[in-house]
Amino acid sequence: MTAPATKSITTLNNRYQLMELIGKGAMGRVYKARDLRLGGAIVAIKFLAQTLLNERMRKRFWTEASICAQLGQKSIHIVRVSDYDLDADDVPFYVMEYLEGYGLNEIMRGQAIPLPRFLMMTRQICQGLQMAHMGIDVEGVICPIIHRDVKPSNILITRDHSLGEFVKVLDFGISKLMMEDAGATSTYMGTMVYSSPEQMEGLELNAQSDIYSLGVMMYEMLTATLPVQAETHSFGGWLKAHLNQVPKPMKVAKPGLNVPKALEDLVMACMAKTPQERPKTIQDILRALEPIEERFSASRNLSNRIGEVLNRQAAQAAEALDLTNLAPNLPNLPNLPPPTVSPAEEVVGPNSPARMTGSGLIADELLRSAAWPVKEMPVAQIVFSKVMTVGKETIPTLWVMLESYEEVKKIKLSKLYNLVYKNVLCTQTPYPMALWVTAFYNHMYHDENGPRWMPCYLDFKSRHGMEMIRLLGQKGEYQLLFFAKELPQKCAYVTTIKISDALKANLREWSVTSATWRVVGDPNESKQLAKKLLKNELEKQKIRVAEELKVQAQKKFQLGL
């Protein structure tokens, strides 16, 4: 029974019910299917391409299946294979675990991976490759496995209920069994952009060839650029590039990038032109990464840094909710084109200039054009967010209504003495939610009552919330618009608020990873609980932040700054 070219349902060998085509490549097609013997469990089935039905390719396909079957038993970071057989037309296929997630190439999309997330991903990639290099049993002989095609599209990022974001190494279709009598590889197979010089020259390969490809991928993950560039996209062009080009320092490739020197040295060593100059084993790379990851683990995810107490509260609260509804509720993927205008998103100024550059010009245009949306929002002391477009630029904004114009005027006239606290608190459970916090403090006006707090919730399961998170991470700043209850028709003051690089990196990370965060229990109850948890955390932080702002303000005033 030949694999169907469409989504039509077909039963394979009276066991596997094919559902839909989910992938195809040079070696064959992959289908999503149900295993009818195991209660309809979802699996993935890979068929050898019809054009490759010769004895040599059948043997290679079988080798791929057997390699993955053994490696999947040894490492949770390699896709598991559970069955191998022929269909009614003698087309070979094998059955593997079905994984939902995104390729590393989809996650990058021309963007660098934040350092904490890079370290987490790279460690898991290395753990998968390490098991392959340690080898499998072939007729009583342990034979190391060289992947030979390490690249972003062969790295799948999925989500595990217990382990969080999880990495799988895919496609051992062109891997090589390193047996004593294997001989040299005379035919090039791989991906030119990521292949080592010796791989492109058709020389004998070892683990250090995979390490070169890993180094190219790590460089790209950190800088969003390739370490070497071919003059022409041809075999000769890439061979010349890998043989002769020296990768640029990361700060040159991506200005402003701050990568620990030890990490940059490690990546550069992995891309050494000769195998002897590279780390000898993946274990050496893991040892080098360990102290770097320990150093930066504190900034891995702000939702984790909220603390054990917050996580414990969420877990206790989740137990009281209905835990039967665990189906994922995925929002739109990040990095989509800007959404169309809705009541929560407004285009400012019918006579806006064709191109606006610089925060000052944007603030001036908002001050001139923005008016309180009385039809959607009450004229009261509230805070809300809007995605707005000024000219051709889409920007994140925060709108604040204060009781009187007098307070707005004080903030405006005393801007040299204003201190601004800005942060985004985030929780994944029981409902993905963020609390966007801004606070102004001026010792002349806020000493008695404390800072002016302006909190705003962002829902990761809403299109608007996702767009705000994405824009904040992309822009690294937002516009804060002040209004007064006594004069709501006109914006009283606009100021540009910059955010730190660390917070910016977290926001970019959340804009990607939040697509896999799940709602625990009833969405409405979970959402209210998440808001309560974030609010409680903010209340605990307010005392500390207020005291720090007060001390800083006094120092600033004494210095006359």
Nearest to 303 by CA among 514, 495, 94: 514
Q: Are 402 and 485 contacting, i.e. CB atoms less than 8 angstroms apart?
A: yes
Give the pLDDT score at 556: 62
Give the pLDDT score at 313: 44
Residue 29's alpha-carbon distances to 56, 64, 65, 77, 539, in angstroms, are 18, 14, 14, 22, 54
Q: What is the pLDDT of residues 247-293, one digit of tens each?
A: 999 999 998 888 999 999 999 999 999 999 999 999 999 999 998 88
Q: What is the pLDDT of residues 323-334, one digit of tens each?
A: 222 222 223 323
Do 420 and 336 share a structural domain?
yes
DSSP string of 114-173?
PHHHHHHHHHHHHHHHHHHHH-EEETTEEE-EE-S---GGGEEEEEETTTEEEEEE---T
Share of the chain above pLDDT 70, in %: 80
Give the pLDDT score at 314: 40
Q: State the Cα–Cα distance between residues 133 and 283, nearest whole angstrom.
A: 10
For residue 280, what is the DSSP state?
A: S
Q: State the Cα–Cα distance between residues 142 and 71, nearest whole angstrom.
A: 12
Which structure tokens are listed for 218?
Answer: 């790590």
How confident is the model over 27-35, as a mean pLDDT?
Answer: 88
Do 314 and 278 share a structural domain?
no
Three-state secondary structure along 66-80? HHHHHHHHHCCCECC
Do 381 and 283 share a structural domain?
no
> Who's near 362: CB < 8 A, 6+ residues apart?
356, 390, 393, 395, 479, 496
Do 312 and 289 share a structural domain?
no
User: Which sign does the torsion angle of CA 64, 122, 159, 111 carry?
Assistant: negative
Per-residue confidence at 175, pLDDT binned at 50, 70, 90? low
Q: State the Cα–Cα distance between residues 177 and 147, nearest whole angstrom.
A: 9
Say if 87 falls within a structural domain: yes
Q: Are 192 and 200 contacting, i.e. CB atoms less than 8 angstroms apart?
A: yes
- Domain closes at, from 97, 118, 148: 97
Q: Are 533 and 393 contacting, i.e. CB atoms less than 8 angstroms apart?
A: no
Nearest to 189 by CA among 213, 169, 168, 215: 213
Angle (nearest 5°) at CA 425 between 420 and 428: 165
Do 291 and 328 share a structural domain?
no
149 is a catalytic site residue: yes
Domain that holds residue 274: 104-300
Do 494 and 362 share a structural domain?
yes
Can you list the pairs that 385-388 forms with residues at least 24 positions away whose Cβ atoms lie under 8 Å?
385/344, 385/436, 385/456, 385/458, 385/464, 385/468, 386/344, 386/345, 386/346, 387/338, 387/339, 387/344, 387/345, 387/464, 387/467, 387/468, 387/471, 388/345, 388/346, 388/347, 388/348, 388/479
Which structure tokens are listed for 237?
Answer: 């062009």
Q: Which phi and psi angles does 103 have, rounded to 5°?
A: -65, 150
Q: Looking at the predicted structure, is the pLDDT value of residue 1 above 50? A: no
Do 150 and 20 share a structural domain?
no
Do 445 and 319 share a structural domain?
yes
Residue 76, domain CATH: 3.30.200.20
Give the pLDDT score at 45: 92
Q: What is the pLDDT of residues 479-503, one digit of tens each?
A: 999 999 888 888 999 999 999 888 8
The SS3 of residue 267 is helix
Give the pLDDT score at 93: 92
Give the pLDDT score at 542: 86
Say if 347 falls within a structural domain: yes
Say if 5 falls within a structural domain: no
| Number of structural domains in the chain | 3
Q: What is the pLDDT of residues 395-437, one digit of tens each?
A: 999 999 998 888 888 888 776 677 889 999 888 878 889 999 9
Say if 4 falls within a structural domain: no
Q: State the Cα–Cα distance between residues 212 and 201, nearest whole angstrom.
A: 14
Give the pLDDT score at 336: 29
Q: State the Cα–Cα distance between residues 313 and 301, nearest whole angstrom.
A: 18
How confident is the model over 176-181, as a mean pLDDT?
Answer: 50
Residue 121, domain CATH: 1.10.510.10
Q: Give the number of other CB atoms < 10 A from CB of residue 330.
A: 13
Per-residue confidence at 185, pLDDT binned at 50, 70, 90? very low
- Domain closes at, from 64, 80, 97: 97
Q: Are 240 and 221 contacting, i.e. CB atoms less than 8 angstroms apart?
A: no
Do 282 and 317 share a structural domain?
no
How high does pLDDT run on average in the chain? 80
Which structure tokens are listed for 369?
Answer: 């054009």
The strands making up 10-12's β-sheet, listed across from edge to edge, are 10-12, 16-24, 28-35, 41-48, 92-97, 81-86
Q: Are 274 and 201 contacting, i.e. CB atoms less than 8 angstroms apart?
A: no
Helical pair 115-134 and 55-74, crossing angle rounded to 10 deg: 120
DSSP string of 512-538?
HHGGG----S-HHHHHHHHHHHHHHHH
Do 72 and 153 share a structural domain?
no
Give the pLDDT score at 350: 33
Q: State the Cα–Cα distance between residues 407 and 286, nearest whole angstrom.
A: 55
Rg of the chain, C-alpha, whole Å: 28
Give the pLDDT score at 173: 61
Q: Give the number of other CB atoms < 10 A from CB of residue 456.
A: 18
Give the pLDDT score at 189: 67
Do 446 and 347 share a structural domain?
yes
Identity of residue 477? E
Say if 3 falls within a structural domain: no
Q: What is the pLDDT of residues 214-258, one digit of tens each?
A: 999 999 999 999 999 998 888 999 999 999 999 999 999 998 888
Catalytic residue chosen out of the listed positions 149, 171, 210, 459: 149
Give the pLDDT score at 174: 62
Give the pLDDT score at 374: 85
Q: What is the pLDDT of residues 71-108, one digit of tens each?
A: 888 888 888 888 989 988 888 999 988 888 888 998 88
Say if 380 falls within a structural domain: yes
Q: What is the pLDDT of residues 131-172, one digit of tens each?
A: 999 988 777 778 888 888 999 989 999 876 555 678 999 887
- Domain closes at, from 278, 300, 322: 300
User: Strand ranges (DSSP E) for 36-91?
Assistant: 41-48, 81-86
Do 447 and 362 share a structural domain?
yes
Q: State the Cα–Cα distance between residues 451 and 534, nearest whole angstrom.
A: 19
Per-residue confidence at 544, pLDDT binned at 50, 70, 90? confident
Say if 1 falls within a structural domain: no
Say if 2 falls within a structural domain: no
